[in-house]
């Protein structure tokens, strides 16, 4: 655990981030992507055997809908009920994001901007000790709300067991057409370029490790991607009335994301910072990337959060909540002592696929709009006035055939 002031806070965040991936990771991912493009499923299987299941076979790579439904039936009832609730809330919120066509008509022409759902999407669902059914819903729900025709979930195999029942149940909720059982750069390459067992997709969404992000970057000229995900992040701004015990749990929950995740607490109240630090020391959290930082004021703390643009931000305590409009650069902002960030990971209804690494300055949570492309449609009714103006500009630019193609319409 690290303690310091706002200068130390900014320095630590810069050091902890260090980019989504380095040159060594990129070179490794590039070799895998090249191999999958050349050998398809055989190359994917080789990586599965190396990292996940040594005795995997080609037939294990794809799970079809009927097999998904069979596996889902073994999901424990209490987990099914919890996933049902999460699914209803996520779908209800995302349904309100439905893109709407934009039209302008006058006597000369009509111009439309029409949302068209993507045909095929690949959703990356990483796994730790178990699979993450929450991520299957966070990626699958907005895709289905948008009207995506085909959805393929891609998730690594476990070393010994079959398909995770909770992942299978989540896949049935989002009506996944198949689960392709691979991970990392190989899975990304398979989705981008297709293999005998999985067709190429229009867009790849969802989080992953550094090799996954490197592979997404490598294939992004050929297929759409949502973002290059880095380690998970949390910045808490807390006033003196915040509950120290709850803040400790928020910090530790963020650290559970592992693989470079960091969690920070900023406050102008030394007593609160000391209380949180003491609890963390008692439970031996010193090895985690958790920091407590003294700010000269809560406003200064909020400005520092904006500067780093974290994935998650939490305002805890009444005085901190009053600054909600000051936080404008965060992937997701959680307001109030009761609003644990973990609610957003599972059941609040918001999406937990969020911008990391400071990209919240210009990027956003995964949403329905990410699963459509916008097609412009133009219909000219009365070309005379438009042809005169258009031909004048075209002639100035030296585009005589542009001018002629408009003028002949009159």
DSSP letters spanning 351-384: ------TTGGGT-----GGGGEEEEEEEEES-HH
Strands 102-105 and 109-117: antiparallel
**Cα dihedral 215, 219, 221, 226 sign:** negative
Separation in Å, CA 112 to CA 101, 119, 376 = 7, 21, 6
Strands 178-180 and 62-63: antiparallel
- Helix 244-255 crosses helix 270-282 at what angle (to 10 degrees)? 50
Give yes or no: 312 in active site.
Answer: yes
- Main-chain dihedrals φ then ψ at residue 350, nearest 5 degrees: -75, 170
Tokens of 216: 């997404």
Residues forming a β-bridge with 379: 110
Which of 311, 375, 402, 407 is the catalytic position?
A: 311
Which of 87, 94, 257, 312 is the catalytic position?
A: 312
Coil, strand or helix at 16? helix
Tokens of 389: 């103006």
Give the CA dihedral 359, 225, 48, 162, nearest 10 degrees: 90
Nearest to 136 by CA among 72, 199, 47: 72
Tokens of 168: 């299978």
Cβ atoms 270, 242 nearer than 8 A? no
**Can you tell me the distance from the alpha carbon of 95 to that of 90, in angstroms, rounded to the nearest whole number?**
8
Give yes or no: 307 in active site.
Answer: no
Residues forming a β-bridge with 224: 203
Residues in the chain: 410
Q: Which residues are catalytic?
A: 311-312
């Amino acid at each position: 655990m690290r303690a310091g002031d706002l200068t130390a806070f900014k320095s630590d965040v810069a050091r902890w981030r260090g980019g989504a991936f380095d040159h060594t990771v990129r070179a490794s991912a590039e070799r895998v992507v090249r191999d999958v493009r050349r050998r398809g499923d055989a190359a994917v299987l080789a990586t599965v055997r190396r990292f996940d299941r040594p005795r995997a076979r080609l037939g294990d790579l794809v799970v079809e809908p009927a097999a998904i439904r069979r596996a889902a039936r073994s999901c424990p009832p209490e987990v099914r009920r919890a996933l049902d609730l999460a699914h209803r809330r996520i779908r209800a919120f995302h349904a309100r994001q439905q893109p709407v066509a934009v039209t302008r008509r006058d006597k000369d022409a009509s111009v439309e901007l029409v949302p068209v759902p993507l045909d095929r999407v690949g959703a990356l669902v990483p796994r730790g000790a178990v699979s993450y059914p929450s991520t299957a819903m966070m990626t699958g729900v907005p895709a289905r709300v948008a009207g995506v025709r085909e959805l393929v979930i891609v998730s690594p195999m476990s070393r010994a067991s079959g398909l995770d029942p909770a992942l299978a149940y989540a896949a049935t909720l989002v009506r996944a057409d198949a689960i392709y059982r691979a991970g990392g750069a190989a899975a990304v390459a398979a989705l981008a370029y297709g293999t005998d067992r999985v067709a190429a997709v229009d867009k790849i969404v969802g989080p992953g490790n550094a090799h996954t992000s490197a592979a997404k970057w490598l294939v992004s000229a050929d297929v759409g991607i949502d973002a290059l995900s880095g380690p998970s992040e949390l910045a808490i701004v807390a006033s003196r009335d915040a509950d120290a015990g709850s803040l400790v749990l928020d910090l530790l929950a963020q650290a559970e994301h592992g693989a470079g995740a960091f969690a920070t607490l900023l406050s102008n109240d030394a007593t609160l910072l000391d209380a949180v630090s003491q609890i963390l020391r008692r439970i031996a959290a010193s090895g985690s990337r958790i920091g407590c930082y003294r700010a000269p004021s809560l406003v200064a703390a909020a400005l520092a959060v904006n500067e780093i643009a974290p994935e998650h931000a939490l305002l805890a305590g009444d005085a901190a909540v009053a600054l909600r409009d000051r936080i404008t650069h965060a992937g997701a902002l959680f307001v109030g002592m009761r609003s644990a960030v973990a609610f957003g990971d599972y059941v609040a209804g918001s999406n937990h696929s969020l911008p990391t690494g400071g990209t919240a300055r210009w990027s956003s949570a995964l949403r329905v709009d990410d699963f459509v492309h916008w097609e412009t449609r133009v219909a000219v009714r009365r070309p005379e006035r438009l042809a005169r103006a258009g031909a004048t500009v075209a002639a100035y630019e030296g585009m005589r055939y542009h001018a002629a193609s408009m003028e002949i319409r009159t």
